[in-house]
């Protein structure tokens, strides 16, 4: 078959890999100038490595991603440094990324709350019955079983940071997936995720896959000759099948001929956007080598997380500079989407100083800002019944997005999984 894939993120590239391996003729169209989707990276002349525009890492349990890396012969380039995640309690930071550290975290006291916290964690790690959990919200379930104090101290700030005003709508099945599948061990790639995406592109090209960058598609239609017509800036081309790996909103724009029921399902899917500031600092921000700071907005922080990348990957790869992310999930249209990198840095400087009182604005050598309207799907109660099928009602047109990996959370691992699942459907 002659197949088009819209999007060179990990879903699109993984689908292309399996389809090309089976002997099909594949063309990937990517609107940006490089592959990787939301995990794309960037660099600076002072650095010999890339960093991700939106901070990413792999978990040791990411079998789909680590599996395809092994198939590509690139496993020797995967690194698992030791990061340290911390939580705030009474204006002090406490490590919180292992069972031992959780037991000694003072925010839960030493009584029943800590026992409930432990039992809830064990239950969510062991149970596989997520279907029953999608009938109740995280807020309801956690208050009942973990208790108000545990929930409000540990998990509610993360829900508020991720989902804003929607945090009380999120089903417990989504939270189950985070606890059930994730590890404290975090991985990356030599040279950053962009180095892996570029290596993946080269492997695909060696297999005969054509990849067109800066190629924005305008419409996808099925014609009377039972071909799928893909129209972009260079004109129209016929394919036997097409896989779209964009957001639901872009999918509904590209394929307006979809039946109203399928279009309606796409339009009902909710999501959050993301704004991420990346700063190159002359000095280390966290004097304790902490990597990930979970920041509760109730304590006055204007973003969800501060991540010091160079406490995870050595600053030697960045000319001795210290790379810091300040990231947040926001409603599309939030005022931060209109701010420049310098304006955001001015807004966030006070919070940097709360991490390290020695911080001065002149520590900042350069800043970048990256924005995405579609960054975090918002699942609803009974969400498994709301997910549009990968195989659309229009013959030959398929759709695979991070809104369809539920109950799992978005991320490169499940992008690989849904891309390969789509490829199987297309060949079936």
CA-to-CA separations, 347 to 280, 332, 388, in angstroms, rounded: 16, 19, 39
Statement: residue 89 has pLDDT above 80:
yes
Tell me the C-alpha distance between 86 and 96, whole Å. Answer: 5
Q: Are residues 21 and 112 in the same domain?
A: no
Statement: residue 113 has pLDDT above 90:
no
Q: Are residues 312 and 341 in the same domain?
A: yes
| pLDDT (0 to 100) of residue 296 | 86
Q: Is the model more confident about 404 or about 154?
A: 404
Half-sphere exposure of 307 (CA within 13 A, CB side): 20
Length in residues, the chain: 428
| pLDDT (0 to 100) of residue 298 | 86
Q: Tell me the average pLDDT of the chain.
A: 94
Segment 245-269, tens digit of pLDDT: 999 999 999 999 999 999 999 999 9
| pLDDT (0 to 100) of residue 323 | 98
Among 133, 160, 181, where does a domain finish? 181
Domain annotation covers residue 89: no
Domain annotation covers residue 200: yes
The answer to whether 380 and 171 are in contact (CB under 8 A) is: yes
Q: Which of 17-26, 88-97, 281-290 has the lowest mean pLDDT?
A: 88-97
31, 221, 243, 198 alpha-carbon torsion, rounded to 10°: -20
Q: Are residues 340 and 421 in the same domain?
A: no
pLDDT confidence tier of residue 392, bands split at 50, 70 and 90: very high
Domain annotation covers residue 91: no
Q: Are residues 289 and 361 in the same domain?
A: yes
Q: In what order do the strands lie in the sheet with 241-244?
A: 210-212, 25-29, 2-6, 241-244, 397-399
Statement: residue 144 has pLDDT above 90:
yes
Tell me the C-alpha distance between 200 and 195, whole Å. Answer: 9
| pLDDT (0 to 100) of residue 109 | 75
**39 φ, ψ (degrees, to nearest 5):** -95, 15
Statement: residue 350 has pLDDT above 80:
yes
| pLDDT (0 to 100) of residue 95 | 85
Q: Are residues 194 and 76 in the same domain?
A: yes
Statement: residue 103 has pLDDT above 80:
no
| pLDDT (0 to 100) of residue 27 | 98
Q: Are residues 284 and 366 in the same domain?
A: yes
Beta-strand runs (E) in 173-312: 186-189, 210-212, 217-222, 228-232, 235-239, 241-244, 270-281, 292-294, 305-308
Q: Are residues 203 and 129 in the same domain?
A: no
At residue 367, the 3 state secondary structure works out as strand
Domain annotation covers residue 12: yes
For the chain, how many structural domains are there in total?
A: 3
Segment 276-300, tens digit of pLDDT: 999 999 999 998 999 999 998 888 8
Segment 35-86, tens digit of pLDDT: 999 999 999 999 999 999 999 999 999 999 999 999 999 999 999 988 889 9
| pLDDT (0 to 100) of residue 183 | 82
Statement: residue 321 has pLDDT above 90:
yes
Q: Are residues 288 and 244 in the same domain?
A: no
Q: Are residues 60 and 74 in the same domain?
A: yes
Q: Are residues 75 and 146 in the same domain?
A: no
pLDDT confidence tier of residue 173, bands split at 50, 70 and 90: very high
Q: Are residues 250 and 291 in the same domain?
A: no
Domain annotation covers residue 93: no
Q: Are residues 75 and 220 in the same domain?
A: yes
| pLDDT (0 to 100) of residue 94 | 87
**Which range, 68-82, 84-98, 173-187, is most confident?**
68-82
| pLDDT (0 to 100) of residue 49 | 96
| pLDDT (0 to 100) of residue 118 | 87
Distance from the Cα of residue 344 to its chain's centroid: 22
| pLDDT (0 to 100) of residue 219 | 97
Minimal CA–CA distance to 169: which of 300, 298, 271, 249?
271
Domain extent, residue 153, equals 98-181
The pTM for the full model equals 0.94
Domain annotation covers residue 85: no
Q: Which of 59-68, 96-105, 252-261, 345-354 has the lowest mean pLDDT?
A: 96-105
């Amino acid at each position: 078959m002659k197949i088009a894939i819209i999007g060179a993120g990990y879903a699109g590239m993984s689908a292309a890999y399996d389809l090309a391996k089976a002997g099909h003729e594949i063309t990937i169209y990517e609107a940006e100038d490089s592959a990787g989707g939301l995990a794309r990276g960037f660099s600076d002349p002072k650095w010999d490595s890339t960093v991700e525009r939106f901070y990413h890492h792999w978990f040791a349990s990411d079998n789909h991603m680590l599996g395809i890396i092994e198939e590509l012969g690139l496993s020797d380039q995967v690194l698992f440094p030791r990061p340290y995640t911390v939580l705030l309690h009474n204006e002090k930071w406490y490590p919180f990324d292992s069972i031992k550290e959780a037991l000694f975290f003072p925010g839960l006291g030493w009584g029943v709350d800590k026992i409930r916290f432990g039992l809830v964690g064990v239950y969510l790690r062991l149970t596989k019955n997520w279907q029953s959990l999608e009938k109740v919200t995280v807020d309801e379930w956690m208050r009942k079983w973990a208790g108000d104090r545990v929930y409000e101290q540990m998990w509610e700030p993360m829900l508020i940071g991720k989902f804003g005003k929607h945090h009380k709508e999120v089903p417990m099945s989504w939270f189950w997936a985070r606890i059930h599948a994730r590890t404290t061990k975090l991985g990356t790639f030599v040279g950053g995720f962009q180095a892996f995406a570029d290596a993946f592109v080269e492997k695909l090209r060696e297999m005969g896959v054509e990849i067109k960058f800066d190629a924005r598609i305008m419409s996808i239609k099925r014609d009377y000759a039972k071909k799928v017509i893909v129209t972009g800036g260079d004109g129209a081309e016929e394919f036997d099948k097409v896989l779209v790996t964009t957001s639901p909103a872009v999918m509904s724009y590209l394929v307006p001929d979809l039946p109203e029921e399928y279009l309606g399902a796409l339009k009902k899917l909710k999501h959050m956007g993301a704004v991420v500031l990346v700063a190159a600092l002359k000095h280390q921000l966290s004097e304790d080598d902490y990597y990930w700071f979970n920041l509760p907005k109730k304590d006055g922080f204007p973003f969800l997380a501060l991540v010091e990348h160079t406490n995870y990957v050595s600053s030697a790869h960045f000319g001795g500079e210290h790379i810091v992310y300040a990231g947040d999930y926001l409603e599309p249209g939030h005022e931060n989407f209109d701010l420049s990198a310098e304006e955001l840095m001015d807004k966030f400087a006070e919070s940097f100083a709360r991490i390290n009182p020695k911080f001065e604005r002149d520590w900042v050598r350069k800043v970048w800002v990256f924005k995405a309207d579609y960054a975090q799907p918002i699942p609803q109660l009974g969400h498994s019944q709301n997910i549009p099928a990968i195989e659309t009602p229009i013959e030959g047109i398929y759709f695979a997005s991070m809104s369809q990996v539920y109950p799992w959370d978005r991320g490169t691992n499940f992008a690989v999984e849904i891309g390969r699942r789509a490829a199987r459907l297309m060949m079936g």
